[in-house]
């Protein structure tokens, strides 16, 4: 994971030195050491929220303590679902024959970010679905969502983590838990619009699914993943991000044949912020 993060930073550095990051002049001479880095990842642990039908995350201690050789040694084993905690959905997750996790081009995971704040709408309605009009309203206040951007949808629900009741709307597990889910998501028409009209690289959200909790057909997943648009779910707090003018680096574990996997995602803000 560290090696992949450093590779992502190297990519960003190359783009910055070439003065070609998403057309933002303020990044032309970006020095990472002077930039502000914001971690958008929930830590994985015993309180990690997973889908009601998935097994909880487990960190199993295999070795911890002094060895006969006279040195301290610690080693653990991970047991986790691909789609638990802060993670990525690869296209194959909902698109037959789609890209597996290791096949997603790294260029789709690094790029200019925009934050769409819909927290007010979601505070009024836990089952809110973000619309094309929400995106157009954001554009009227800021600017056109740049082509090839990474869109982060801020519902405000990250503040509920790690309370399953507050975050998911239920503490139930199994099929009953799935039926009791209540949280916001993106309307499938709005998702298709982002992919078609703005040609976005990827989209992320601070809820357990890009589809709203009561979805039964997962049409938003299909709309995005069938177009090879990766999805980031269970993002951390997005409130400290500006509307635009930052970069996103989202590097998952590179799992051969994976339908998804744990994701470490950060935002890179210029020194001015």
- The predicted-structure confidence for 49-59, as pLDDT tens digits, reads as follows 999 999 999 99
Residue 246 contacts residue 113 (beta carbons within 8 Å): yes
Question: What is the tally of structural domains in the chain?
Answer: 1
Confidence of residue 33 (pLDDT cuts 50, 70, 90): confident
Q: What is the pTM of this model?
A: 0.88
Q: What is the mean pLDDT of residues 166-173?
A: 98
Q: What are phi and psi of 214, to 5 degrees?
A: -85, 5
Q: What is the CATH number of the domain that holds 195?
A: 3.50.30.50
The pLDDT tens digits of the residues spanning 79-115 come to 999 999 999 999 999 999 999 999 999 999 999 999 9
CB distance 28 to 251 below 8 Å = no
Q: What is the pLDDT of residues 257-266, one digit of tens each?
A: 999 999 999 9
Beta bridge partners of 58: 79
The mean pLDDT of the chain is: 91
Average pLDDT over residues 21-44: 71
Q: What is the pLDDT of residues 231-251, one digit of tens each?
A: 999 999 999 999 999 999 999
Q: Is the pLDDT of residue 7 over 50?
A: no
- Predicted local confidence at residue 136, as pLDDT: 98
Confidence bin at 25 (pLDDT 50/70/90): very low
Say how far apart CA 159 and CA 166 lie, in whole Å: 9
Using an 8 Å Cβ cutoff, are 44 and 162 in contact? no
Residue 240 DSSP SS3? coil
Name the phi and psi angles at 209, rounded to 5: -160, 150
Confidence of residue 31 (pLDDT cuts 50, 70, 90): low
Percentage with pLDDT > 90 across the chain: 86
Q: Across the strands, what pairs with 73?
A: 65
19-23 long-range Cβ contacts below 8 angstroms, 24+ apart: 21/112, 21/247, 22/111, 22/112, 22/146, 22/148, 22/149, 22/247, 23/112, 23/146
Q: What does the DSSP 8-state code read for residue 98?
A: P
Averaged pLDDT, 115-121: 98
Q: Is the pLDDT of residue 44 over 70?
A: yes
Instruction: Give the model's pLDDT for residue 124.
Output: 98
- Does 221 score more than 70 pLDDT? yes
Which residue do the tokens 């177009």 mark?
227
Write out the residue range of the structural domain in which residue 191 sits.
2-269
Residue 260 pairs in a beta bridge with 89
């Amino acid at each position: 994971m560290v090696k992949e993060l450093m590779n992502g930073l190297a990519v960003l550095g190359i783009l910055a030195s070439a003065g070609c990051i998403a057309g933002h002049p303020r990044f032309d001479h970006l020095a990472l050491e002077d930039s502000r880095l914001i971690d958008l990842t929930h830590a994985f642990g015993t309180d990690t929220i997973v889908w009601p039908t998935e097994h909880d995350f487990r960190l199993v201690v295999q070795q911890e303590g002094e060895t006969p050789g006279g040195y301290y040694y610690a080693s653990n084993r991970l047991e986790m679902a691909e789609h638990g905690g802060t993670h990525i959905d690869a296209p194959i997750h909902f698109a037959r024959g789609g890209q597996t996790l290791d096949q997603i081009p790294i260029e789709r995971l690094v790029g200019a970010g925009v934050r769409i704040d819909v927290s007010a709408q979601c505070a009024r309605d836990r089952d809110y679905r973000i619309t094309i009009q929400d995106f157009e309203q954001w554009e009227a206040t800021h600017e056109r969502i740049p082509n090839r951007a990474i869109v982060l949808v801020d519902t405000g629900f990250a503040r509920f983590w790690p309370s399953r009741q507050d975050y998911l709307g239920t503490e139930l597990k199994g099929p009953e838990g799935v039926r009791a889910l209540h949280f916001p998501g993106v309307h499938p028409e709005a998702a298709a619009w982002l992919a078609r009209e703005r040609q976005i690289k990827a989209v992320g959200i601070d809820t357990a699914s890009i589809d709203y909790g009561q979805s039964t057909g997962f049409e938003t997943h299909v709309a995005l993943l069938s177009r090879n648009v990766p999805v980031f779910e269970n993002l951390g707090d997005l409130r400290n991000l500006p509307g635009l003018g930052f970069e996103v680096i989202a590097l998952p574990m590179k799992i051969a044949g994976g339908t998804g996997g744990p994701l470490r995602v950060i935002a890179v803000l210029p020194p001015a912020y």
